[in-house]
Amino acid sequence: MAYDTVLSMWRAVFLNTLAFPVFLFIIVGLVASLLHLNKLAHIVLVTILSAFIGLAVSALLAAVPSLLIAAIYSSIPADMSSVEAAVLGSAQGVAIGMLNSGILHRVL
């Protein structure tokens, strides 16, 4: 039961954190290609893709401790909202930081 709770939290982390860069990549990439802005499309592709990879890695690393706790201890409190909030916050914080640094690196 507790292991299922952690796995559902892990899935929620991936869905919530990885949906944003994919959506942003699709929308901005389509707009840039429609406007024939090849340089902007390239910058968006590299920046969003690097943020997407960073998100996947950070979400995995943030979810591993929770999965280990579930494997070691058979009883985890039913209220996982604080753990989920911490995992989501750390993964999104890393992603936003990577996205900002990628954009600043390409602008400067």
How does pLDDT run across 23-81, given as a tens digit for each residue?
Answer: 666 677 677 766 776 776 677 677 767 666 666 666 666 666 666 666 555 555 545 55
Record the pTM: 0.34
Instruction: For residue 58, count CB atoms less than 10 angstroms from its CB and return exposed for 0-12, middle for 13-18, buried for 19 or more.
Output: buried
Q: What is the sign, positive or negative, of the torsion defined by CA atoms of 73, 76, 82, 87?
A: positive
Distance of CA 63 to the CA centre of its chain: 11
Distance (Å, whole) CA 7 – CA 9 = 5
The parent domain of residue 58 ranges over 2-107
Domain count, the chain: 1
**Axis crossing angle, helix 81-107 with helix 38-72, rounded to the nearest 10:** 150
